[in-house]
Amino acid sequence: MRKKLNTQFNTRQYMVSRDFEIYYYKDQHMKKVANHIHDYYEIYFFLEGDVSLEIEKKEYPLQYGDVAVVPPGLEHHAVIHDESVPYRRFVFWITVDYLNRLMEDAREYGYLIQLVQTKGEYIFHHDRIAFNTI
């Protein structure tokens, strides 16, 4: 069952779904991902790896429990420091329009997005218990 959860990584950087997409990746010896931008939000739920996320030319080391939010229009890519360590993460893509529609029902859906917009923070650290709750 767990093997079916894994998504084969590809370098496609556009959505095929209208509103959102979610992926679980577990990669080793992954090809380098070029710097890129999206017109939607990209949210990482980081599980494992020796990886940093570079956003707008600033590098953010990731650790288990981190949630990273990359707003539309910002250049970013993963920087893999040790390819022998599995790089595991959930990646959630959501369009601006769909997020806005969700926030019409409950503003809380946009909480992290609002922190990113007001404080310019992209990485949110969580301990194991809090992250497992997410």
All domains in the chain, ordered by first residue: 32-130 (2.60.120.10)
pTM: 0.85
**pLDDT by residue (tens digit) across 76-118?**
999 999 988 999 999 999 999 999 999 999 988 888 888 898 9
Q: Mean of the per-residue pLDDT values for the chain?
A: 88
Per DSSP, the three-state class of 101 is helix
Q: How far apart are the C-alpha atoms of 62 and 134, rounded to whole Å?
A: 17
Q: Which of 72, 98, 76 is nearest to 17 (CA)?
A: 98
Q: How far apart are the C-alpha atoms of 54 and 76, rounded to whole Å?
A: 5
- For residue 127, pLDDT over 80 is answered with yes
CB 109 within 8 A of CB 103: yes
**pLDDT by residue (tens digit) across 18-31?**
999 999 988 887 77
**pLDDT by residue (tens digit) across 114-125?**
889 899 899 999
